[in-house]
Structure 1
């Protein structure tokens, strides 16, 4: 973790597990089967589970688990970036949309840097925990405030567009690699 990252972490401590559970419950209460929010919530849970698989994997297995995490995060982020973030901006949440793009770009860059580290090293573990913390915070922001506001204020046409586009983009990126997540 860089000195800047450490300073930011010191003045803005992460939300608690209880805060995260409450944010998730709030979003789940607003989601409808098959809508964009329910798809995203499912992918958030998959991302969290994949982080845990990577964290607990033996060093020799980490490269494969990291590849799965990268695939899942990238498919998810691309789908959000072309479907939901424009809807956030149209819903007068431009700042949230811009922050979300920045956070996802940073996570992808950090994953690329993680690939350069020895999977058995402490540096690898530290970088992974930094990425995990950033992604969990991003999920918390989406589930706790941004997405509930969007669900409550966007009209039916915007909801339908976000649902269709999110599903299309996620499937397009995952392609044949989606079998990596059938366990």
Structure 2
């Protein structure tokens, strides 16, 4: 049984931090750890976007922070895609990893100081557990998803979260550009 969505999100944050630490300290593990990080971070982001952000926006009155968080997700996904394309032994890898760590750490700090505490205060425990179940299910369905390969439906969700207007009339590439531009 899934738990409180706030706790589940924070558990994922700690796991991502652990993976960052391993990537920074053990370059020899990078070829194995980058796909793990990519899968977890992409699945986590997509589950938040699909299940958590709409509830935070509508039920916890967090529209501005959700739009900001969506923009940060887009930035992290771009960096994650770049990390996947970079040779683990190169100096460029160090730079991209550093940029990704900085962006994600900033996002986590903001999310854990604004959106998550407000969700804990504003939503009932039963609602947070319901969202936890939906979050886990969505995250599980997105495991294995690759950064930069969002479906049109996922991009529409990202656009809605980021406050991009008119996305439903755009094709997939146009939506992706607008979401990226908003970040």
Tell whether the structures are fold-level matches, with TM greater than 0.5. Answer: yes
Alignment correspondent of 1:4: none
- Cα drift, residue 156 of structure 1: 5.0
Counterpart in the other structure of 1:78: 46
Residue number in structure 1 paired with 2:55: 87
Corresponding residue number in structure 2 for 1:41: 10
* Among 44, 58, 66, the residue aligned to 1:97: 66
Residue equivalent to 1:21: none
TM-align CA RMSD: 1.8
Q: 2:134 aligns with which of 139, 145, 165?
A: 165
Could you state the TM-score of these two structures normalised by the residue count of structure 1?
A: 0.71
Say whether the 8 Å CA contact 2:80–2:100 is kept in structure 1.
yes
Segments of structure 1 that go 5 or more residues without pairing to the other structure are 1-32, 176-183
User: Aligned in 2, Cα 1:171/1:117: closer, same or farther, shift over 3 Å?
Assistant: closer
Q: Alignment length, in residue pairs?
A: 142
Query: Counterpart in 1 of 2:26?
Result: 57
Could you list the runs of 4 or more consecutive aligned residues of structure 1 that deviate by over 3 angstroms after TM superposition?
A: 155-158
Give the drift of 1:97: 0.8
CA distance in 1, matches of 2:54, 2:130: 11
